[in-house]
Structure 1
């Protein structure tokens, strides 16, 4: 059984904020899979579904972001879940809004929700689905940035990213995270052998 945990903050006042893109993806996946009933267990909202023959739990911790591990740790212990069965969806300030990255492990990278999960599960070997929210505007604090709604310019990028990630998450469940990384992560553009003087630098393609 796979556990797909989207990170965010509970409460209507946070529903459309940047920090809640994990909740947004889990809600979109629930809608696609026909999940209508959510149970309150382990300080989380939990929905049950299937992707193919695989049973999955959709999880939205209700502990607030910084204590996400207080929900996910006990949940995994109860179901005796292996770390490779955990998929965590969260926001990422280090990539542009609407850009996605799938990783099979890694450090917290300054993300307090991931820090909390690492503290409770004790190992970094679980899949991450990261949705870019971009850096704070000049004069904005990190807290102001993550707790603000998306701009009118970024909102459609986030919707597209979530729609793009639905089959990617299903790919992780049906196949594995390596397959999903290969198929859905943005591909680096190949550098030209001789770029013209003053030409633009090669960058990374942006999905969604």
Structure 2
């Protein structure tokens, strides 16, 4: 089983915000493959399972808020016996321009609190990531920026992000190695 985790914050006030890019990608995948989310309160997550490209997958949106994502993901990995190499995490990245993605096989949290939580709970930095660009706020408040919604003139870049991230995940599910994916998408 492949586990695909999108990072974000739960609640309608966060819908469509830059920090919820991981949730948006997961929602698009679920829609395109007609998978329905259910709330798993014991695991603190919204999950949807099914077959994508011939592989059993579990889509995960932690309901713990971004900064505690690992608290949800680790128990799910343990319950479903998912090894770290079958985990991919999708998250926003303000150091990438809107409309661009970057795949990373492992690494530090680089200041991203959702990744910090995952690294802490999983005990490793060695998990696959799809970093989705949201642009940098410049001198504006980072918190206000990442919790802000996309503007009308950013919609084309947003749609590019969603499509690129979904295609990268589909290729990974089909068995393309992560090294090959990084060469293709980075």
Q: TM-score, normalised by structure 1?
A: 0.85
Instruction: State the 1:79 CA deviation.
Output: 1.4
Deviations 1:105-141 (A, max 9, x none): 1110100000000000011111100101111143x21
Matches within 5 A, 1:177-196: 177-185=178-186
Q: Is the CA contact 1:137–1:145 (under 8 Å) kept in the aligned structure 2?
A: no
Structure ranking higher in helix proportion: 2
Instruction: State the 1:86 CA deviation.
Output: 0.6
In the alignment, does 2:86 pair up with 1:85?
yes
Structure 2 unaligned regions, length at least 5: none
Look up the match of 1:15.
15
| SS state at 1:154 partner | helix
Instruction: State the 1:152 CA deviation.
Output: 2.2
For residues 52 and 26 of structure 1, the distance between their equivalents in structure 2, rounded to whole angstroms, comes to 15
Instruction: State the 1:37 CA deviation.
Output: 4.1
In the alignment, does 2:30 pair up with 1:45?
no
Deviations 1:141-179 (A, max 9, x none): 111111001122222201111112222101111113222
Structure 1 unaligned regions, length at least 5: 186-208
Q: Is the CA contact 1:171–1:179 (under 8 Å) kept in the aligned structure 2?
A: no
Look up the match of 2:141.
141
Deviations 1:51-72 (A, max 9, x none): 2231100000000000000100
After TM superposition, the runs of 4+ consecutive aligned structure 1 residues lying more than 4 A away are none
For residues 177 and 38 of structure 1, the distance between their equivalents in structure 2, rounded to whole angstroms, comes to 29
Q: Is the CA contact 1:171–1:177 (under 8 Å) kept in the aligned structure 2?
A: no
For residues 141 and 111 of structure 1, the distance between their equivalents in structure 2, rounded to whole angstroms, comes to 15
Q: Compare relative contact order (CA 8 Å, sep 6+) and give the higher one, 1 or 2.
A: 2
Matches within 5 A, 1:37-76: 37-41=37-41, 42-76=43-77
Deviations 1:40-99 (A, max 9, x none): 241000000112231100000000000000100111111121111110000001111221
Q: 1:115 to 1:37 in 2, by over 3 A?
A: closer
Look up the match of 1:160.
160
For this pair of structures, how many residues does the alignment match?
Answer: 184
Residue range with higher mean Cα deviation, 39-48 or 54-63:
39-48
For residues 155 and 91 of structure 1, the distance between their equivalents in structure 2, rounded to whole angstroms, comes to 15
For residues 179 and 18 of structure 2, the distance between their equivalents in structure 1, rounded to whole angstroms, comes to 27
